[in-house]
Chains A and B, each alone.
Chain A
Amino acid sequence: MTQFSRSAAQYPLLWIQTTSFSRKSSTLDGFYSHTLLHTAVFPQNPEMGYLSKASKILRQSNYLSLSRNFNFNPITGRITNERFSMTRAVLCSHSRQNSTAREKNSIDLSEYPPELVRNFSIIAHVDHGKSTLADRLLELTGTIKKGHGQPQYLDKLQVERERGITVKAQTATMFYKHSVNGDDNSDGKESPNFLLNLIDTPGHVDFTYEVSRSLAACQGVLLVVDAAQGVQAQTVANFYLAFESNLTIVPVINKIDQPTADPDRVKAQLKSMFDLDPSDALLTSAKTGEGLEQILPAVIERIPAPPGRSDSPLRMLLLDSYYDEYRGVICHVAVVDGVLRKGDKISAAATGQSYEALDIGIMHPELTPTGILLTGQVGYVVSGMRSTKEARVGDTIYHTRNAVEPLPGFKPAKHMVFSGLYPADGSDFEALNHAIERLTCNDASVSITKETSTALGLGFRCGFLGLLHMDVFHQRLEQEYGAHVISTVPTVPYIFEFSDGSKLEVQNPATLPSNPKQRVTACWEPTVIATIIIPSEYVGPVITLVSERRGHQLEYSFIDSQRIFMKYRLPLREIVVDFYNELKSITSGYASFDYEDSDYQQADLVKLDILLNGQPVDAMATIVHNTKAYRVGRELAEKLKNVIDRQMFEISIQAAIGSKIIARETISAMRKNVLAKCYGGDVTRKRKLLEKQKEGKKRMKRVGSVDIPQEAFHQLLKVS
């Protein structure tokens, strides 16, 4: 496509003919629908400036009908070059304006009964090309204009773009003309226009629940696999999510333009791992455009229409939400049954709150009001919710007057990883508070409670869905809100049982008494089932690593001759810090890793305290497995010795389990610091030096009289 566009810039007329006749007739029906024509390519050619004038005049007319009347048949309908180029330019140009024109004529969603609607999602391992493929589909259908708008169109957050991940669900509605097989097109009846909803879901395990809710709104998925890398851990996890939801799976082997691409091997993997028919796989390159034209026809032909009932009371699935400064909370929804009209009174099942549907519409790709959403359709609702906390992912929304059975599968957010967040500079608590408040407006899945640490002052205990979620939250706090934070070592929710039968869930190790009055009789920790896929030569080191992390092997098999598939049960605690990096480094980056939450299991856990001059540092307390306590204690003490500066007195660093000291280091007292003379000319210089020294102290955290540099807390994150 890019090549065409280039030649078109030079030879606009010639290009039209080229596009008209270079395509294989097998795909002509679908290919030359109006949507494709107007989006295929629009040459950015200054020589065609006069045409945009024409487009302005023509824009007033109904674009849709115009395009329909212009029933171009490349084989029979020869039009003069001049006239054609002009009309085409009108059609091709300004796809955004076209959509504006369409909005002005307000899209009539009633033209799209469920049988003309397809709801699908794209699932893939990270970097297998999901976002680029989504971009191409949006371009192909004219939803966005090629070369305009940023790449990874649906990934709106900076963190998503930087990391190439999706953390929030997005939807996009596309229109696509296609004649379904068997439909006789020769009688002059035009091909029906389909409404396609692409529901972009997060790919990571932390968001498994969000993904499952997004998938619940779909009837099928494109399972995208990199042609060179083949099936990876996230591919497996995502496949099973889709498979268990009974979705139609359309395998797409992407990036076939790569020199190392081996689609046949991938087909074989798909067959052996998932029992997917090799002949069903579509071969594409989202980069070069090769094979893309098969995708939407396959979506329409293979994925069933949404099954909802139009005549039933309204049931809507809440997919995700975000906060807009001007409009408040905007919810992405899928209408499962019934119809939603603007002005309807609606209620949310999980919260019991009622709202009015102030504005509804579709994402095309931006908010496009339609006044109505019908069965099977996907769009947005603005309802005056004040906070995204009211918009629970997976909740059912219904007409207030007509209570319904909620849709299955709703679960409140489950927080698996906890960490304390403190302002790096103690005086910045208000700033951090503000930043967190604003960020949680857009990420309601974080649980926030205030906590106080003697070392770090006022801060927050935050619960996250998982590691990536935590990381993303930190990154967004820093990037979007400029907050500087100290984070305590992430921990998982443990359960301790005491001799009196009472149980305590511990989200912050400091809250577990070091010398409890009641004896601890049992402890449980959350575990995960981890999927690891590695080239076979790395099996040795990986098994060693996983055993060190108290992993228990559940499955071991070959995907093909070169790659191993392993399943392990691992304590969540063991993968919270640094597991993935370690795995990557021992496998030169070839390992892929994914996990799903599993049950709590009993374990021999102890609380490890760090004491500075006999005073426990609450923010440094951790819960570790008994067998590892000594090693971890020694490592922590050593690390701290290296990062805490000498002070005017001796400092003892101790690691302790209860009242038993298991490791000790000493930092000897400072003997002397700079003793410059101080005469008239030196006063200013000396002052500056001392003020700098004072500023340095101010940034330190203090326990008893010991100053702890922030670096110490960052270092602790590196010991597991």
Chain B
Amino acid sequence: MVKSTLTPMFWALTPKPKSPKQPSPAFANSTPLVRHKASVNPTTPPPPPPSSAYIHLPFCRKRCHYCDFPILALGSASTPDDPRLSNYVHHLCREITATKPHAHTPLQTVYFGGGTPSLVPPTLVSSVLETLRAKFGIREDAEISMEMDPGTFDAEKMREMVVLGLNRVSLGVQAFQEELLRACGRAHGVKEVLEAIRVVKSCGVRNWSIDLIASLPHQSSDMWEESLRLTVDSQPTHVSVYDLQIEQGTKFGRLYSPGEFPLPSETQSAEFYKMASRILGDANYNHYEISSYCKSGYECKHNFTYWKNKPFYGFGLGSTSFVGGLRFSRPRKVNDYFNFVQNLENGLVNSSGDGQIHGKDTAMDVVMLSLRTSQGLDLKCFQESFGSPIVLSLLEVYKPYVESGLVVCLDEHRKSIRVDDLNNTERKVVYMRLSDPEGFLLSNELIALAFGVIDSWNDCPSYQEAEATLKQEFIC
């Protein structure tokens, strides 16, 4: 009885999720329980078809001490005509061909990652690109990137790659100190690094990145500063700064524990991060993502598909794709991968989803990925997809951190809003981002807070509980 009379009343009181007005806090307090059922639980509309492809080329001369990627160490005696290379690329092309095209959209970005893709002969790279072109099409202005390691290519090889269409290079420098490169098991020295930089620049690649690793064992503040200075001097358009992760099962994992000598302490490591932010910032690089810096206009478009939670293909050993709402990881062992390709051809497996995604998962992914960027979370879009109560809860949980400067609220003109003005209806919070560097440094902690908010929206109220709350309110 009560249910049948109250429910319609309630719904009549509830504004539609896409209410154009910013709801008042009072409204949020009175209606959240049922609201999220209407907004978060239903699946979001099917995502657009992918226009990005990640290609995994797993070959390395040897495994670096920190690496837990699915790679194939060829050994130093390997030659470009190593049958393992051609055999793998053959399977890779078969996988591309056997993949159901989600919808016909030409690719805007292609990213060759590894391993060390630059070990693969240009002819094989060419066959991969041709297969992609035949299958999906590649736009004229597509960004085609490749991770390249010093010592694995010369000017000739570089030029051949450029001819194939490669227009962005991500150079795995990691450090400018001989002893650090040796200590982390890299297959090159500083000489090769400098040579590689020269080659890339001389071959007319405008868009290129230097990748560095911070917090290596025995790395001193001076060494880190030197690496950053030399990077700036090399004038790449993009710099990636990775914080060393000690992964289980790696050599470093056996030798070191985070925060303990010879690894830098937590405080020191935080200082390294801040130093990078300062030095690169001073050199006019935008810190546009937690670990990425670029000159204006040189963001990595491919990586942005990840951070915008857009779909992408993934091909090759251990790679992950995000098609039709499904994150699918391919086998990490070569034989398993080859079997997978076989099964894919025979229609026994499917690597894409049915287009349905659970709202909560999407909300978490969106928050996690967008808060890694300097652009931050677009609250307006987020509210349209997931409802305003969740946005208000996010603001509420972040309020102390807005106050302490870890989180920044921005208006539609991307002007920051002071914490006292948060409740001011005149200035709507349109974006929310983590501050650089303090907020970025604690991103895991802060994002986990947001997860708590999203999670509690979902696992709270059964319908009955929501109703009970309602009744109480009506009684009062």
Whether a CB of chain A sits under 8 angstroms from the CB of B395 is no
Determine whether A449 belongs to the interface, using a CB cutoff of 8 Å to chain B. no
> Are A694 and B445 CB-contacts (below 8 A) given A648-B406, A675-B290, A677-B240?
no
- Chain B residues in 8 Å Cβ range of A279: none
Least CB distance from B26 to A in Å reads 24
Asked if residues B441 and A690 are in contact (CB atoms below 8 Å), the reply is no
| Smallest beta-carbon distance A316→chain B, Å | 46
Q: Which residue of B lies closest to A674 (CB)?
A: B444
- A676 CA to B401 CA in the complex, in Å? 22
Contact stretch, chosen from A123-131, A629-637, A680-688: A680-688
| Interface check B318, CB cutoff 8 A | yes
Knowing A680-B306, A684-B320, A698-B452 are in contact, say whether A675-B443 is a contact too (CB < 8 A). Answer: yes
Binary flags per residue of B243-265, CB closer than 8 Å to A gives 1, else 0 = 10100000000000000000000
Chain B interface size, under 10 / 10 to 19 / 20 to 34 / 35 or more:
35 or more
Inter-chain contact A671/B319, CB cutoff 8 Å: no
Q: Report yes or no: A680 in contact with B312, Cβ–Cβ below 8 A.
A: yes
Interface pair B303/A679, CB less than 8 Å apart? yes
Give bound CA distance, A690 to B367, whole Å.
Answer: 11
Asked if A675 contacts B400 (CB within 8 A), the reply is: no
Question: When the two chains form their complex, are residues A693 and B303 in contact, meaning their CB atoms are under 8 A apart?
Answer: no
Return the chain A residue nearest B211 by Cβ.
Answer: A677
Count of chain A residues near B, Cβ 8 A:
27
Q: Residue-by-residue, is B138-180 near A (CB-CB < 8 Å gives 1, otherwise 0)?
A: 0000000000000000000000000000000000000000000
Establish whether residues B306 and A648, one from each chain, have CB atoms under 8 Å apart when the complex forms. Answer: no
Q: A693 vs B245: C-alpha distance in the bound complex, in angstroms?
A: 17
Which one of A647, A683, A689 contacts B327 once the chains associate, using CB atoms below 8 Å? A683
Q: How far is the CA of A617 from the CA of B91 in the complex (A)?
A: 62
List the B side residues contacting A674 at CB < 8 Å.
243, 245, 444
Q: Which of B319, B372, B442 has the most CB of A within 10 A?
A: B442
Q: Are the C-beta atoms of A677 and B291 separated by less than 8 Å?
A: yes
The answer to whether B270 and A671 touch across the interface, beta carbons within 8 angstroms, is yes
What residues on B are CB-neighbors of A670 within 8 Å?
Answer: 266, 442, 445
User: Which residue of B is nearest A696, CB measured?
Assistant: B448
Is B400's CB under 8 angstroms from A690's CB? no
* Known A670-B442, A678-B306, A681-B319; contact A693-B448, beta-carbon cutoff 8 A: yes
A672-B441 CB under 8 A given contacts A680-B306, A687-B365: yes
Q: Which of A647, A679, A683, A690 has a CB less than 8 Å from the CB of B444?
A: A690
B54, B243, B404, B452: the one contacting A697 at CB < 8 Å is: B452
- In the docked arrangement, what's the CA distance between A674 and B446, Å? 12
Whether A691 is near chain B, meaning CB under 8 Å from some CB there, is yes
B184 within 8 Å of A (CB atoms): no
Cβ of B291 and Cβ of A675 under 8 Å apart? yes
Tell me whether B336 is interfacial, beta carbon within 8 Å. no
Instruction: Give the contacts of A640-672 with B (CB-CB under 8 A).
Output: 647-649, 670-672
Q: How far is the CA of A269 from the CA of B306 in the complex (A)?
A: 83
User: A671 CA to B369 CA in the complex, in Å?
Assistant: 21
Residues of A within 8 A of B452 (CB): 694, 697-698
Closest Cβ of chain B to A651, distance in Å, is 13
Chain A residues within an 8 Å CB radius of B306: 678-680, 683
Set of chain B residues within 8 Å of A705, measured between Cβ atoms: 400
Chain B residue contacts of A677, Cβ below 8 A:
240, 242, 290-291
Which residues of B have CB within 8 Å of A676?
243, 245
Is A673 an interface residue when CB atoms closer than 8 A count as contact?
Answer: yes
Contacts of B447 in A (CB 8 A): 690
A690 touches B368 (CB 8 A): yes
B112 CB within 8 Å of chain A: no
Identify which of residues 681-720 in chain A touch chain B, using a CB-to-CB cut-off of 8 Å: 681, 683-684, 686-687, 689-691, 693-694, 697-698, 705
Residues of A within 8 A of B (CB): 647-649, 670-681, 683-684, 686-687, 689-691, 693-694, 697-698, 705
The 3 closest A-B pairs by CB, nearest first: A671-B270, A693-B448, A694-B451
- A sample of 12 more A-B contacts (CB under 8 A), given A675-B291, A677-B242, A683-B320, is A649-B400, A649-B404, A671-B270, A672-B270, A675-B444, A678-B368, A680-B319, A680-B321, A684-B327, A684-B329, A698-B455, A705-B400
> 8 pairs across A/B with beta carbons < 8 Å?
A648-B445, A671-B270, A673-B445, A678-B372, A680-B305, A681-B319, A681-B329, A683-B369
